[in-house]
Structure 1
Amino acid sequence: MKTKIKLMALLVACVLFGLSSRVLATHFQGGDLTYNCISPNVYIVTAKVYRDCTGAAAYTYNDLKVWSPGCNTGRVIPMTMQGGLITGTPYCPAVGNPCTTSGRPNYQEVTFTALVVLNAAEIACNDLIFSTRNSARNTNENITGQDYIYTEAFVKLRPTVNSQVQFYNSSPQFSGNNIPIPIVCFGQQTRFSLNANELEGDSLSYELIAAQSNYNTPIAYKPNPLVLNPGTTFNNPNPKSPYSNPLRPQVALVQGAMPPVFTPTYPMPSVTVNWNGPATVPMQDPNSPTGTTLVWAATPAFSLNPLSGELIFTPSAYYPGTDPDLGRNKYVVVVQINEFRKVNGSMVKVGHVRRDMLFIVEDCSGNQTTQPDVPAPAPIFNATIKSDTIIEVQTCNSTPLRFLFSDPNPGDKLTVTFDTKVVDQMPNSHLSIRNNGSAVVEALLYITPEPQHVGRDYYLPVTITDDHCPIKGTATYIYRIHVVENNFAEPDGGLKQRTLCLGDQTDLKVVLLRPDSLLIPPATKPQKASYTYQWRLGAGSDPLHAGFDPNTSNQKDITIKPTLPGNYRYNLMVTSAISGCVDTISFAVKVQPLPVINDLQVLYARGQEEIRFGRSAPLQVSLGNADPATYTYSWSPGTGLSDSTVMNPIASPLKTTTYKLTVSSKEANCKAEREVTVKVGPFFLPNIITPNNDGSNDAFVYKGIQPNTSLKIYNRWGVLLKAYSNYDNSFNGQGISDGTYYYVIKEPNNGKTYKGWFEIVRD
């Protein structure tokens, strides 16, 4: 068994740098650049710079470069500082949030703007870059040197060279809920939102990129001093019950190696463990009866959702007691947001912006982050909770989404902030928050998408901040709300297609699969929903024979009775008077003709009007109006028939029998019936003959046996007296005295054999 090493002990054991004097020139911690197109070829560009409070004073000026690589060398425009400095508030009021050179790590936000009116040379280019470049970065753990911090925003002016189409695009705007220089807690999962607001309906994608010191000039990344190889174990620094006992720790086993060098996509030590899930990984344990113990899986991972912009990671290295200027607990992370627009059926990149951030890892003194809960709405709303952050809602339906927030730390109070710009973009949305600033907060979001919103995704950032001391806990969850089509009216019983027999009628009924109320702003309470109905015949349906009464066209349910075979379509349009949502149901009705039995007869032998006992005769059916293969057949009773389910069976009854044939269409079970009687002659073998020429029983005569049947007559001692190969009922005892005799009758072609006795009596 490999030696267990607590993660904290492992990290503290890493080589620590000694104290150094402060280098006040290195004070830039991050920045971003965005733009708004306020009229054709006129932009307002906004730069935000984040300075380290322990560094030099904030700049009051900034320069913006406007240029196009390969097209225009560009120009520099001075930017104007807007307002004062905004100091971060990562700490609780008890310790305060000062911005000093010797206090706790903190930042200040500085905002600059510039009005850019494109000149003719710039308009002639296909695209432009807005950029700023300032010296110098803070010393940090993952990238080399104290280089320039370079921020950039890209805007495409037209899709292709010489294109007559021109884009007047505004960039995505970062949410005010995002903390640009976040303090994150060692050993706890962090969820951080980069979600940006896009007001023009363009598609966004997010990617981790390298920090840069100039255009297309990435900064080298440092080696990763933390080595966690597969098989390394560590304990949960915040163990879950019942593992809070030090003698019974909650252990994780590393499943993959950390990268030896930091990269843009793995910019800090981060090991993900789902401590709330079950233990699934076997680890050698000599103290266990089986020799192994199940522990938790630990995987090096730093993930960015490319659609929502949510970062998920677990800071897994912390160096206590080091000078902040050494940057041992600071990590640069850069995210680029790419903006796409569909042009002539193809997606074209129309812009991008970047956010250059500095994550600061701290020991949060046991402060646990909040995990929100979104209970599933009632089934009537047809909403689906796909995962902890993915929700599926339906059009034409007011779906109430409840968000529940509670702080796991006793005594802490929560402040929940929704990105109201995103909420305002949601169709017919209404948000209310209860008990904000308390230990338990509840939010209720109503959303009523309309048909044009099908397929849309709304990424809703929700920021949860507690008042823990000294470091406040902050998490941002991004909920993806996906809209799918809601067929709010369905056929009663679910049958949109049905087949009828001519002369039958059917009810066309609908069931409304939605609530009886809707919430459409500006109303703040659900309103009673009402619907109108309109029935119409579909194209190609014969109105003269469709059996549709126009006087019922505005009813919810109707009855139809077609008068000719054929295919008919009945369309119902259901409209919501409040939202204007429309749903259409189409009923396809196929009318089958009734089967017609023209004739049904028994094919007796020529000259016969019955079949002999034990013999057979075919039954022949003649249909009047259809292909026989389109029907099923049922004969009753089935006894004496070769097959009671075929059209023309062979009848072999032992007595006269009346059969009933039922012919049914395969699709609609349309039926016709007819009867036929199969007559059967008597079966008779005599047991006495009286050959006295009185006309009664003068000969050995049998009935019901096939022609060409042989007959042999024996005396009581088995002596053959008479033999006929084709007996003709002519034996009258001639030449044989009175007495008892025995016979053997055998039908031809290996047919039946009959044995018995008879007497000859002449008196």
Structure 2
Amino acid sequence: MRSIFYSVLWALLLLAALPARATHIVGGELGLQYLSGDSYRLTLTLYFDARNGNPGALDPDATAGIFEKGTNRRLRNLTLPLTQNTFVPYTNVACAIGDLSTRQLVYAAGIDLPANLYNNPQGYYVAVERCCRNNNINNITNPGNAGQAYYLEFPPVTRNGQVFRDSSPRIFPPLSDYACLGELFYFDFGGTDSDGDSLVYDMVTPLNGHASAADPRPAQPGAVPYSLVSWEAGLSTQNQMPAFDPLRINSRTGRLTVRPSNAGLFVFGVRCAEYRRGVKIGEVRRDFQLLVIRCSSNQTPRMTVQAPGSGQPAYVPGRDTMHILPGTDRCLRMRFTDPDPSSQLTLELRPVNFTATLPAPSVRSGTVHVPGQPDTLVSTLCFPECFSSKGRVLLLDVIVADNGCSLPRRDTVRVAFTAQAPPNDPPQVSLIAPPTTFPLAARVGDVVRQDVLGLDPDNDAVTLELTGRGFSPAAVGAQLIVLTNANGRSTARLSWPVDCRAVGRTLYEFEVTCVANPCQERQESTKLLIPVQVNYQNAAPVLTTTFPPDSIPIAVVRLPLGGVYSANLSGTDADNDNLRLAVEDNEADLAAAGMSFQATNGVGKASGVFRWVASCGSINPDSLDLRPYAYARTVTFTLRDETCVAAPQRRMVRFEVIRPAAPEFVPYNIFTPNKDTDNKNEFFALPSLPPDFCGQRFSSITIFSRWGNEVYRSQDRDFRWDGAHVAPGVYYYLVKYTDGRTFKGNVTVAP
């Protein structure tokens, strides 16, 4: 560890006397993260000078303004309360100096961005303004009166009528390190984007904004344009601080580098633009400050790499390519040292153009030039036998770093090498006791069995896998059962109980593959084909009945009330399949209709007996009209063969009840109740009324006078009205039936 006496002394001189006003801002940036629905979270990360900043300038909240780009229309202000207050750590804690201390203050709040308000194609921006910066910044004019405008751009939440979600990049790890005068300073400002958008970095001049020492915290931020900080003479956006190698940021990685030429405190600005499908959709800005001090001398460590094999010369980057071969020494030897005394060295391996996991080196760190410690550290990196570059030249950076301040010095050797794994032959698969003919023949109910053998010439462990051409073996009930497996040899049995799942295609082609995994790389044999021909035929069963006539689709059976009917059914099957004779009607419905069916089922034969007793319960109430036959029900008889592809036979029979014959309805229209004269035609009756039939029954007869007065009523269908006590004349009658039918007429009572 180097002495940092000069570092501390310079920091004290540089930062000793600060004005009483609130010159405290180190830097910061805004962030907008999508949560769900219309909800987002807006965050201001502010970096505060914890050593020299005025504690009274540590705000409990911040005010953000949201504006529409193009018009600068203010959409709203949002108060961001302080949610987090932590110290920013050093990269190397041992290099910390007491006069450089930075706090990270996080102000955050939720915000809704509804599509009906945030749909401007030009997008939007957010700003927060605060003053003031550290008074002793060396690269801008009047820094104690310079404010900062934190700035972020984001896209509309809808584009072309579609929802457009975006979170700003999470970038810029905080910086609490200092740079050493004349030495390379580097820091990774690269970030990540949760949406997978492309990020592009560049240097920008920090924004000053509208805040000032007179108004350090405006009530609300103003709209663009924002004024910029004023560079000291000779400095600009592309040359923001005095340096032997200018302050630069890699546009793709976000790596910041500079070799400063002057000591002091310097502010700088970085922008990260966000692109989706080649179109810029937003940006995040951050400005920060970097302290440059005079550090004690620190020399760069040295690294050499030696190819496999004792006595080999040191590897020369850019000229040599190492070849790591099977059966030989596969170890690189790395020697690293440092001219500085008591230097703590650390070894790092960083693959450049490959992602394979590397084995750990024998030595990762150590101290040199200390009593009892070596002057040079030696570490070996041994590649396992299975490591292979697959014909490519791989690049590996071997990096040694010291513990110098403020940041480690490094020496890197980029090693180009190839590596070969041991040669390996693919496995093989074959049939055990192959059949004399292919394809194998099978019927439903058979079990197909065929044994297979898998071998590996190198005795690698093997497995046998079963697939099907155009089908899944498991879906038809086939499997490969392992019988033995040891020492590069495996036997298994294809077992397939052929059932109805096999019906539908005739040829099944099973494929068996032998698989080995030498060096965790899959190796397959050629596929072994096992074809199976499935033979399936089924003749439809034959159904015969005694229903009349048996040749038409629907037979009709008619009975009078009280009649009894029986029929026999018989089924046969040429394939001798199990037969099942049944009716498709519910048994309770059959019983209610006075019907019954008994079946005897069996292999290749089935029989049944049907019986019906006609009654009013058999009749469908909706069919009680005046037709000669009342509908009872239609019964469907089925004969099925219980096999894979059933061919059912059906017989439909319609059952009807015969209505009793009715005489022609010819009502009387006159009668002469004069018992004292001729003794003829003395009564009025209606003997030709329709006969009673189940729910259609005579209910009543009523006779009225011409003035509507009831003169006679009877509920007897055999009534006889003698006309007693009425005067001769015309009378009217109304006959009612229980099903709602009526009969009307008139009758004359003669004197």
TM range (shorter): 0.3 to 0.5
Bigger relative CO (Cα 8 Å, ≥ 6 apart): 1
For normalisation by structure 2, the TM-score amounts to 0.41
Larger Rg, first or second structure (1 or 2): 2
For normalisation by structure 1, the TM-score amounts to 0.40
